Amino acid sequence: MSAETIISYASLAKGAQWRADTALSQRQLPSSLAPTMVDRGSLTAALRNISDGTFQVHVLSQVNGVPLWHEQRKLRCLPHSAALIRQVTLNIHGEAVVYARSIIPLPLANKGAQGLATLGDTPLGHLLFKDGRMRASRRDFSEASLANQRIHARRTPYEYLGHTILVSEFFLPALNQYLQYD
């Protein structure tokens, strides 16, 4: 993946206008994406189910840095607090269908041999949902633009081992070809 693509994805996170998960905001979601976006289960598991075994995580970047201002506010952390910022694409048949940005507090990222800083291409969602000690908090939805296309997104804070992880998922247009609802 090119540096230009990473910059484009980063602009999704910067430009997102988040709104709380309400009945009204759910009705504003596109009908093709709504079931996936409101589902409280593992997005990783859902994508694996529709991928015919071709699901993979592509790590774009994983660095210690300062989250965006709206991420800091959602996490209720002090301004300029550093965290592990992990950006990945979730791919089906080698094509990016979801861009995900995770904000992981440094104490949790570096916690022992199971630290989240060592995930590599293991999906964060797989670990959180498999572990069973995670609790999801109130989700937000957003829309952003990328290459003149509307990109719909959700972000969810997860309480895990006494810390809050913020996961933002941007549903890319390529995902629509894999979603089939009756």
Report the number of distinct structural domains present in the chain: 1
Give me the pLDDT at residue 123, please. 85
Q: Which CATH number covers residue 132?
A: 3.40.1410.10
What sections of 51-155 are H helices per DSSP? 69-75, 106-109, 124-131
- Do you know the residue count of the chain? 182
Q: What is the pLDDT of residues 60-114, one digit of tens each?
A: 999 999 999 999 989 888 888 899 999 999 999 999 999 999 999 998 888 765 6
Residue 179 has pLDDT above 90, yes or no: no
Give me the pLDDT at residue 113, please. 53
Give me the pLDDT at residue 121, please. 87
Q: Give me the chain's average pLDDT, please.
A: 87
CB 155 within 8 A of CB 166: yes
Nearest CA to 77 out of 165, 17, 139, 145 is that of 165
Instruction: Show the domain range for 50.
Output: 3-178
Rounded to the nearest 10 degrees, how much is the dihedral formed by the CA atoms of 125, 162, 71, 22? 70
| C-alpha span between 86 and 93 (Å, rounded) | 22
| Three-state DSSP state, 11 | helix
Q: What is the pLDDT of residues 147-162, one digit of tens each?
A: 888 899 999 999 988 8
